[in-house]
Chain A
Amino acid sequence: MIAQAAQMAAAPGGFVPPEVAWFALTPLIIVISAGVLGVLVEAFVPANRRRVVQVIMAMAALAAAFAVIVWQGVSWFGEGGSGGVVVLGGVLQLDGVALLFQGLVVLMAFFALAVVIDRTSTKQDAFSPSAASIPGSEYEELARRLGLVQTEVYPLLMFAISGMMIFPAAGDLLTMFIALEVLSLPLYVLSGMARRRRLLSQEASFKYFVLGAFASAVFLFGAALLYGYSGSVKISEITTMASTVVGGGAPDHWELLWLVGILMVISGLLFKVGAVPFQAWTPDVYQGAPTPITGFMAACTKIAAFGALLRLIYAGGFSGTPDMLEAVRIALWVVAIATMIVGTVVGATQTDMKRMLGYSSIAHAGFVLVGILSFNGAGIKAVIFYLLAYGMATVGAFAVITLVRETGPGGEVLGEATHLGQWAGLGKRSPWLAGCFSVFLLSFAGIPLTAGFIAKFSAFSAAVEGTEVLGNATVLAVIGVLASAVAVFFYIRVIVIMFFMSPAETVVESVVETVDVAVLEPVVVGVGQGVANAAHTSVVVATGAPAVVVVRSEGPSAVTITVMAVGILVLGIFPAPVLDLIARMTGIG
């Protein structure tokens, strides 16, 4: 066979069968197959068994994929390992960074999936029984009465995950674009499938789709411009062309083509990470989407998109003539600063838990960008650790939100109680749940002894270190620290509400009194006013707000919450092994 193939390869103009590194593709194949099989299950398995089959298949697929990724890691990065594989002539670059990102995506997706499958003690999952029906219609009511269950959620999730796995490994812009679409389209659908507040959910889905499609188009146009500039869609070749401009590559005046192209491609990616000015969809989608999906999306999409950004900026080599480089750098600096400020300052004004976490995710995107903009090895490592810490806290936090519910007039359990004021007194009624949520918030806030602190520390210290050529990014680190101070305020506010306020109190009294301008003015000059305003617009619950209950998890969510909280504390105190793993896989000492 092989000899035959070689012979054919030698023949001029003959067909050259591509050499496929099947082992390298195994995790991807497992997840995609689970998605395809899931679609078949929808068609052929009786309705009453579909859910069980789908859940088992999805969980098994992710577990198997993770196991293979670990196996790959050991065999490629252990003693005498090859240090990574290039698939299909560079379509996928499965190096250490890509493998770390794939592992991260699959791991977080596994725990996020555990929240998706959890129906809690209400025995209802978070998805509409018939997403296609018009909200409030008789058809919807009928579907609800019949107890229909929508299980295409699982194959959709599998497809999204496979896209996220390709995204950070893509070696050329077309693969990256396909990955982008494969991960995005299922998410648009999933966002619109909430069981409750369906109009909000559908609005979110629509917004996400329209803006997402626009961003994809921008990405694609950028890719086309870069192809026009370099004659290739391969990231490495575009980079080579850009860096050899002076030495007889593309003509000098084509620089602009490169610049516009690369900025458009980066914009497409920044949309996915929710960086300012491409953040507008984030709070709406986070709020409207079914909460388990929000958790999945917030963690995994961000991880995958930052992976792709790293691939574009670093793994392909961030080079070009100094002028070109400078222009991109300035653009990214502006984006990072704006992202941190908008995320924290606007986040501080939110009264809805999911929206608040949406803005918090924007702020975190800014902090990760600080790590990226350090342009050194420490920065790459910091970004990976940051995404791990952020992903854990995000998945855990949204899992907690799925369990805190409103009750209707008859005592029946309704949707999530997402208004901040409704969380008052949670610390007394469910101390463990509130305790875990506090751990997630403290990690978001970057308080020492949580993973979030080590993450922020790594990112900021990489920025301060900088590089010899490009200088350091201390200014970014300082802004990041100031933004963190503001962010701490709104995370701590939730802890105040949970532990120090009783439900009765919030109706008549708001947290306004806990912070006033006088406290903040000397502390955060400038943004102080914004935060102070935030405090004044804070929790005001309408009288007669529905009562709040904490529903019991069926198990998987509880496991997710526990694993994430413990993981965050362990990583906060003993991060050395994970930092070591990252250093070994990325090959940066």
Chain B
Amino acid sequence: MTIDTTFPWLTVLVVVPLIGALVLWALPSGRLKLARPVALGFSLVELVVLALAIGAFDTSRSGVQQLTEMHEWIPQIGASYALGVDGVALLLVALSVLLVPLVIGAAWREQGVTDGETGSDVALNGARRLRHYLALVLLVEMFMVLIFTARDVFLFYVVFEAMLIPVYFMIGGFGEGARRRYAAIKFLIFSLAGGLVMLVAVIALYTQGPGGEQGFLTANLVGLQMAPTTERLLFLGFFLAFAIKAPMFPVHSWLPDAAEHAPAGTSVLLVGVLDKVGTFGMLTLCLPLFPNASRWAAPVIIVLAVVSILYGALLALGQKDLMRLIAYTSVSHFGVIILGIFAFTEVSTAGASFYMFNHGISTGLLFLLAGFIIARSPSGKSRTIADFGGLAKVTPILAGTFLVAGLSALSLPGLSPFISEIMVFIGTFQTNSVAAIVSAFVVILAALYILVTYQRIFTGPVRDELSATPDLSGREKWVVAPLIAVLLIFGFYPGPALDLVRAPASISVATVVGSDMTILDESTDGSDS
């Protein structure tokens, strides 16, 4: 490891996509053809920077914040520009940076030009729209890196809210279907409502902390002694925002709409990465900042998580729309992640952390393939499962890759989600065997919803209008191959990834469970838990 660890790798990771987005917006109208190579170029440069940053990261100390940067930002309100990653954050940054070039690759040819433009303007407008879309993707990449590396609660909050705007445009401006604006504004209102409640908690948290010019640094806010009621209210303020983001039953209802109407690439980023901000926030903010309140709320949260797991899977079974189906499977999977986080065992927390990464890969793959399938429908944009049939005969590679993606979603051994899911269930079993046993039934439901979907789309007689469907093109193969490779590699050799998540997991469990000691004398008040 000769890579300089004091170099601001994380800032570079933030700045590269920002420059990319600005370059895209600055492209003159005559050069719009360059938009795709430019966007892809920047996302690949970002990948290289990430590789160097991983090289500079010391895996043996993955529980500690590394590659840290610290600058004064708005000292008057206590906000600092503080970045750093531990193992979990690094894994999620890697997930974001890996998915972006694939999303750009997937958007190469199609661009949901759904507006009623006419005449020769269509080509130019299409190119303009694609430019804006790609710029928004890079902008969102910047925010994703920033939010996973933020070590300052104010910075985290700012990114948490600011990110909504580009995502809102990605759904509402480039989505499919007449109700895309409805989906976009539903997404925005849900997220903003959660975010604004969190804002009050953020402000109140500052007044509880040491204050001063670095009063929002996460490190300065950990281990505060607060009155139990205050701590619980603050916990709820943060948790609500994260539960909406995650999304968790009963505040999940925006996700299926958003996924149904967003372009496939947007759904990859939205469900694959952005929603991880919710679970990531629970893990890295809720637990360490409010350990006592976390334990107080855990029983209820575990029940809601179990409900999410089963409810999401059951609803997935009943979906007619392919994108909605994948969205509901995600509600189910997020339930598993949240269950792992609030079971407070090292194994389940490590499993949940690893699952965040695996779910991003597996769902990202599913959404991308669903996008490819939809593009092959007779109308070019039918998302209804019943419109397909027998595709396996004409598009064997598409069928094969979809099967792999599906099997990863149902956690088949040999693919990486299996390891993380089994870790969550094993860990949960130690503290809450009932929850573990009940939620393990999801494996059966998952097999049903994946295999039935596969059967409907790919098996049976080929429909006439689909008989000439082309198989995956070279570009599309390039898009899905890296994801399948990651699923297989971590499926058989999860060691490196587990090394990253194990230490942070044991630290966060120790914060919550260890805080038992400090609260004992106040626990009379906590009897209502």
Chain A residues with a Cβ under 8 A of chain B: 381, 442, 447-449, 453-454, 457-458, 460-461, 464-465, 474, 477-478, 481-482, 484-485, 488-489, 492, 496, 499-502, 504, 511, 513-516, 519-520, 522-524, 575-576, 579-580, 583
Contacts and interface: CB of A to CB of B under 8 A. Distances in A.
Contacts of A575: 74, 76
B157 A448 contact: yes
Nearest to B161: A448
Given A485-B193, A580-B76, A464 B204 contact: yes
Given A453-B158, A576-B75, A519 B207 contact: no
Contacts of B184: 496, 500
Contact of B172 (A482, A500, A513): A500
A464 B74 contact: no
Given A449-B162, A465-B207, A458 B189 contact: no
Nearest to B125: A428
Contacts of A478: 200
Contacts of B193: 485, 523-524
A461 B203 contact: yes
A460 B199 CA distance: 9
Interface string B492-511: 00000000000000000000
A448 B184 CA distance: 19
A286 B220 CA distance: 47
A474 B251 CA distance: 26
Contacts, number: 104
A484 B200 CA distance: 12
A521 to B, nearest CB: 11
Nearest to B257: A519
Nearest to B143: A449
* 6 A-B pairs closest in CB distance: A448-B158, A579-B76, A448-B162, A461-B203, A523-B193, A448-B161
A481 B185 contact: no
Interface in B64-78: 72-77
B42 interface: no
B76 A502 contact: no
B162 A576 contact: no
Interface in B176-199: 178-179, 181-182, 184-186, 188-190, 192-193, 196-197, 199
A499 B173 contact: yes
B169 interface: yes
B516 interface: no
A16 B262 CA distance: 78
A482 B164 CA distance: 18
B207 A520 contact: no
Contacts of A501: 181
Contacts of B172: 496, 499-500
B354 to A, nearest CB: 31
Q: By DSSP majority rule, is chain B's interface helix, strand, loop, or mixed? A: helix
Contacts of B4: none
A489 to B, nearest CB: 7
A325 to B, nearest CB: 23
B452 interface: no
A454 B158 CA distance: 10
19 contacts: A447-B161, A448-B159, A449-B158, A449-B162, A454-B77, A460-B203, A461-B77, A464-B204, A484-B196, A488-B192, A489-B189, A499-B173, A501-B181, A502-B115, A504-B116, A511-B181, A513-B178, A515-B189, A576-B72
Contact of A496 (B185, B203, B206): B185
Given A454-B74, A461-B206, A579-B76, A519 B189 contact: yes
A442 B74 contact: no
B22 to A, nearest CB: 13
A500 B173 contact: yes
B173 A481 contact: no
B165 interface: yes
Contacts of A454: 74, 77
A464 B157 CA distance: 17
Nearest to A499: B173
Contacts of B207: 461, 464-465
A482 B197 CA distance: 8
A485 B196 contact: yes
A270 B240 CA distance: 36
Interface in B28-73: 72-73
A583 B77 CA distance: 12
Contact of B203 (A477, A484, A514, A579): A477
B429 to A, nearest CB: 34
Interface residues of B, number: 40
Contacts of A447: 161-162, 164-165
Given A448-B161, A457-B77, A481-B196, A492 B204 contact: no
Contacts of A465: 207
Interface in B239-290: 251
A496 B158 contact: no
Interface string B3-15: 0000000000000
Interface string B217-241: 0000000000000000000000000
Contacts of A579: 74, 76-77
B182 A514 contact: yes
B169 A492 contact: no
Contacts of A458: 77
Contact of A474 (B77, B116, B204): B204
B203 A519 contact: no
B181 A514 contact: yes
A454 B79 CA distance: 11
A576 B80 CA distance: 11
B241 to A, nearest CB: 12
A500 B76 CA distance: 39
B521 to A, nearest CB: 27
A460 B77 CA distance: 12
Contacts of A488: 188-189, 192
Contact of A513 (B77, B161, B181): B181
Contacts of A489: 189
B185 to A, nearest CB: 5
Contacts of B203: 457, 460-461, 464, 477
B186 A519 contact: yes
A464 B209 CA distance: 13
A345 to B, nearest CB: 15
Nearest to B74: A576
A523 B189 contact: yes
Contacts of A485: 189, 192-193, 196
Contacts of A381: 76
Contacts of B169: 499
A395 B199 CA distance: 28
B199 A496 contact: no
A117 B83 CA distance: 47
A442 B169 CA distance: 13
B181 A496 contact: yes
Contacts of B115: 502
Contact of B190 (A448, A499, A502, A523): A523
A295 B206 CA distance: 36
A513 B179 contact: yes
A445 to B, nearest CB: 9
B439 to A, nearest CB: 25
A576 B181 contact: no
B134 to A, nearest CB: 16
Contacts of A580: 76
Most B CB contacts (10 A, CB to CB) among A454, A481, A501 go to A481
A478 B200 CA distance: 7
A458 B75 CA distance: 13
A499 B178 CA distance: 15
A507 to B, nearest CB: 13
Contacts of A449: 158, 162
Given A576-B73, A579-B76, A515 B200 contact: no
Contacts of A460: 199-200, 203
Contact of B189 (A448, A513, A520): A520
Contacts of A504: 116
A466 B281 CA distance: 29
A464 B116 CA distance: 50
